[in-house]
Amino acid sequence: MEAPSMDTVYQAISALYDNPNANEKEKASLWLGDVQKSIHSWKISDQLLQEKKDEQSYYFAAQTMRSKVQHNLSELPSESLVSLRDSLIAHLENAAAGTSNAILTQLSLALADLALQMQTWQNCVSDLIKLFSTKNEFALLEILTVLPQEIDSPNLKLGENRREEIKNELRANSNLVCLFLKESIANSQNSQISLKIVKCMTSWIQVRAVNIDEVPQNAVIGFCLQVLRDHNSINLLHDAASDCICALLHCLEENNNNEDIERLLFDSIASLEDSYHMAVAHEEEEKAVNYAKVFTELAETFLEKIVFCTASGRVHFAMRSLELALVCVGHHDYEVAEITFNLWYRLSEEVYQRDQEPLTDAFRPHIERLIEALARHCQLEPDNTKLPDEGDEFYEFRMKVMELIKDVVFMVGSSAVFRQMFAALQADCSWEHTEAALFIMQAVAKNIVPDEEEYVPKVVEAILSMPVESHVAVRRTCILLLGELCEWVERHPACLQPCLHALLHALHHPSLAPAAAQALQSICKACRTQASAHVDTLVAAARTADTASQPLAGAAGATLLRALAAALGALPAPQLAAAMRDAAEAQLRELRALLAADGEIKKGTRSDPVLWLDRLAALFRDVDVPPAAVSSQDAHPCLPALTDSWPVLYDVMKKWVSHTRVVERACRCLRFGVRCVGAGCVTLLPALCGALPALYDAHPHGCVLYVCGVLCDVTARRPHAAQPLLQLLHALLPPALALLQAHNGLQDNPDTVDDLFRLCIRYLQHIPVAFLSSGAAPSVLQCAALASRLDHREANSSVMKFLGDLLRCANDIPADATPEKQQIKSLADSALSQYGEQLTCALVEAAALHLHAYMLGEVGEVVVELVRWARAHGADWLRPALARLPRDTERTAAPTDNQCWQFHQYALRAEKCKEMTRLLRDFARLYR
C-alpha cells in the first residue's frame, strides 16, 4: 500500500474507537491492520508518538511500534537500529507522569525487544539505568521489568546463544539493578512505585539473575516480607509481594543452597502464619489466597529434602511447612484449599516411589487431616435443591478432589477412608454432610477389596433402600457409588438383580438418568456373565426410556446401550446374533424415519440423527464377543446387525454429507462395527470400497479416511482383499492430496493429514508389497516431507510413525529373510534412495525451525533411522540438510559454524532415538 496521510490515519483511529457504526469500526480496524503490516507503519507510529494528540492515537502508535519491533525488525537496515533505539528512548524519557500504564508497557516492550535482538547494543542494562534513573524512574522500572520477561518470549526467536548472552549480561548487572531498586524502595513514598519495584525484582529472580547468597541483604525481599507481615497492606502490593517470594522459593528449589540461607528464609516465611490468621479473621480472602500460595510453594521447595530426611529417620526443619499448608486447606473457601493440591500430588509421588512403610506412616496423619478437610469442602449448600452443574467451578473442584483422593489414598488405605466416612453417616447429620461422605466413599470405592464384608454390604443395603424423597444430590451420589462398587457386586451376585432394578428405576428421573446409565454400564461390564441373564430387562429399559417426547437426556442413552452391549456379549452366538439385530433395529428404525422426513436437525432431540448413531455405535463398541464364540466356519454373530446397519449408515452420510458432525458420528459407528466384526466383515468389503470414495469425493471428511484404515486393518490378511483395498486407496489419494497441496492446505486440514497417514500406516503394515509397488508411495512420501513441518501434535505423529515403519522395512529386514520380506526391503530401499535426502532435509528443518520441543521425540526416531540407512549406503544426508538452514547470525538466531559441525558429528554417530532427540532439541534451541 502507498503511504497514507497522517490525517487519514487519525480519522481511522477515531472511527475505530469513537464511531458508533459497527461497519465503520470494522472497516477502520481492517485498514489500520493493513497499515500496521506495511513498511510505512514505522514512520507513522513514530510521528504519532511525537505528536501525542490523544490517548487513542498514542496507544495505537505504541502498540504498533511494539508489534513491529517484535515481528518485523528485519524490515529495517542494520544501520537504522541505533536511530530506532534512540527514538524509543526519547519517547520513554518524555512520557509524562500521567501516561497510562498500557502505553508505557507497550513502549517498554518495544525497547526491551529491540535490546534483545540488537546484538551490537552491548551492556544495555547499565546504559538504561544511566539514561533513565535521573529522568524517568517509572519508565525505567517498567523497562527493567519487561526485559527479563521477554527473553523467553515465543514471539522472539532469539536462539539459545543470544538468550544465554543476555542472561549472562543480566547476572553481571544484577548488583547494579539491586542497588538501584534498594535506593528506589528507600526513597519511595508512592505505592505505585513500590509495586513496580517489587514486580521488577520478581522478573529478575524468575530468570535466575539474582544470586541466592545475596538474598539476606536484598532490600526488596525484606520489603516483600514486611508487606506480607502486615495484613492491612494494599491488595495489589500484597499480591506482588507474594509473587516475588514464590519466585524466590521456586528458584531456591533448583539450587544446592547454603543451609543457613534456607533456614533464614524458611523461618521468615513460616512466621507469616499469624498474619494469615489475621487475614482470615478480617475476611481478607485475596490475602488468604496469597498466603496459601506462599506456604504451598514453601512446602514444595523443601519437599524432596523433607521426604529424604523422613525416609532416613530424621525430621527436616521444613516439615512444619506441611502443617502450614494444612492450615490453608482448613480455610472455609474451597479455592484456598485448592491451591495446595499440587503439593499433595507431589508428596504422594515421592512416597509411592520409595515404597517404605515407615515413610508412609510418617505422612499418614497429614493425609487423614487432608481428606477430612476435603470432605467438608465438598459439602453442597444446605438450601441447594439442584445438582451442581457440570462445568461450574464447584463441580470442577469436586472432580479435582476426587482425583486427588485417588492419588493419596494409598497412604491411609481405602478401607480406612471408607470406614471413616461410614462412621460419619451413622451420626444424625444433614443431607449435605451425608452426600459429602458418600462422595468421598465414591472416590475410594474402586480400591475396596471385593471380599469386604463389614461396611460395604451395609452401604449397599442403605443405597438400595433409600427413600425416593431423599435429596436428589444424595440419590445421585449413591447411584455413582454403586457403580464404583461394581467389582464388589461381581463377587456378590445375589445383589446384582436389586442393583439393576434400582438403577433402571432411576433412569426415569431426568436428573438421575445419566448417573444411573453410567452405573449400569460399570456393573454390566464387571458382571458380564451374570448380567446376560437380565438382557430382556435391559432391552425393555432401553425401549421404555424414550417413551416420552424427549429421548433419554444427553449421553445417557448411549451409555445405557453400552451397558446392554456388555451384557449381550456373554450370550451364546445364536442368541447374541438375534439380540444384536433387535437392539440395532430399534436405532435403525429411528434413522430410517429421519431419512424419509425433510425436517430440520434439532440437536439433542429425536430429529437429531447423531442421537441414534451414538446409540448404535455404543452397541458395536461394547459387545465383547469371546474369540471362542466365533468359529472359523460360522459368521461373526454381530455381522447380521452390521449388514443391516451399513445401508442405513450410507444413506445417512449421503443425505447429510455436508454436516461434519453427522458424518463423523456415522463413520464412528461404522468403525466400531468393523472393529467388532473384524475379518468377518470381508463380505461387506466390495460394497464399502465402492461407496466410501464417492462419499469422500462429495465432501473430504477425514473420518472417511480413518474408517478405510480400520477396514484395511481388519480385512487385509483375508484372501482376495488386497485388490479392492488398493483400489480404495487409489480412489482416495488424489482428492486427499489435492486438498493438502492447496494454499495452506496442510495447516488448514491437520485432521486429514492425521487420517491419511494413519491409513497409509495400515497399508504398509498389512499389505506392504502391494502398497509399495502400487505407485502410491512417491506421492505419499513427497506429502510426508511437506507435512513434517506441520506444528500439530497428532498429525505430525502420524507422519513420523509412517516414515518410521517405512525405514524399519529397509533397515531391519535381514538378508536371509523370506523372499516376500526381501521384496519389501528392496521396495523400501528404492523409495529411500529416491526420497531419503529430501526427507532428511525436511526433518532437520522442521526440528530446527518449526516444531515444538515436545514433538521431537518421534522426529528423532525417524532421523536416526535415516542416518543409519544413509550410512549403510555410503551417503551423508545431514550435511546438505544443515547447509539449507538459515545462517545470518547478525540478524537472525542461528548456530555458529562450530555448533553446526558438532551437531553433524554427533548426529552421524547417534545410535539411539533418545540421543538424537536430545541433539535435535539442543540444536533447535539455537534458532528459538
Task: Let me know: does 400 contact 360? Beta carbons within 8 Å.
Answer: no
DSSP H or E run through 384? none
d(CA 136, CA 114): 19
Name the least confident of 63-67, 540-544, 900-904.
540-544
Task: Let me know: does 202 contact 221? Beta carbons within 8 Å.
Answer: no
Write out pLDDT tens, residues 790-844.
999 999 999 999 999 999 999 999 988 899 999 999 999 999 999 999 999 999 9
pLDDT for residue 94: 85
Rounded mean pLDDT, 686-698: 94
CB contact set of 486 (below 8 Å; sequence gap of 6+): 519, 522, 523, 525, 526, 527
pLDDT for residue 892: 66
Task: Let me know: does 248 contact 265? Beta carbons within 8 Å.
Answer: yes
Write out pLDDT tens, residues 287-340.
999 999 999 999 999 999 999 999 999 999 999 999 999 999 999 999 999 999
Burial 204-230 (b: 16+ CB within 10 A, else e): bbbbbbbebeebeebbbbebbbebbee
Question: Residue 189 — very low, low, confident or very high, per pLDDT cuts 50/70/90?
Answer: confident
Rounded mean pLDDT, 541-570: 78
pLDDT for residue 547: 56
pLDDT for residue 654: 95
Rounded mean pLDDT, 37-50: 93
pLDDT for residue 629: 64
Task: Let me know: does 442 contact 484? Beta carbons within 8 Å.
Answer: yes
Write out pLDDT tens, residues 769-791.
999 998 899 999 999 999 999 99
Task: Identify which of 306, 344, 309 has the alpha carbon closest to the alpha carbon of residue 325.
Answer: 344
Write out pLDDT tens, residues 243-289.
999 999 998 877 667 888 999 999 999 999 999 999 999 999 999 99
Q: How far is residue 739 CA from its own chain's centroid?
A: 28
891 pLDDT above the threshold of 70: no
Percent of the chain scoring above 90 in pLDDT: 76
Strands (E), 522-580: none
549 pLDDT above the threshold of 60: no
Task: Identify which of 491, 564, 513, 579 has the alpha carbon closest to the alpha carbon of residue 534.
Answer: 564
d(CA 187, CA 141): 14
d(CA 480, CA 512): 10
pLDDT for residue 740: 95
Cell of 252: 531456591
Task: Let me know: does 894 contact 888? Beta carbons within 8 Å.
Answer: yes
540 pLDDT above the threshold of 90: no
Name the least confident of 39-43, 344-348, 374-378, 628-632.
628-632
pLDDT for residue 631: 62
pLDDT for residue 391: 77
Name the least confident of 87-96, 373-382, 397-406, 783-792.
87-96
pTM of the model: 0.87
Q: What is the DSSP string of 409-441?
A: GGGT-HHHHHHHHHHHHHS---HHHHHHHHHHH
DSSP H or E run through 615? helix 609-622
Q: What's the whole-number average pLDDT of the chain?
A: 92
Question: Residue 893 — very low, low, confident or very high, per pLDDT cuts 50/70/90?
Answer: confident
pLDDT for residue 553: 59
Question: Residue 508 — very low, low, confident or very high, per pLDDT cuts 50/70/90?
Answer: confident
Task: Let me know: does 595 contact 651? Beta carbons within 8 Å.
Answer: yes
d(CA 242, CA 287): 9
Write out pLDDT tens, residues 658-676.
999 999 999 999 999 999 9
Rounded mean pLDDT, 168-174: 95
Task: Identify which of 35, 99, 109 has the alpha carbon closest to the alpha carbon of residue 66.
Answer: 109
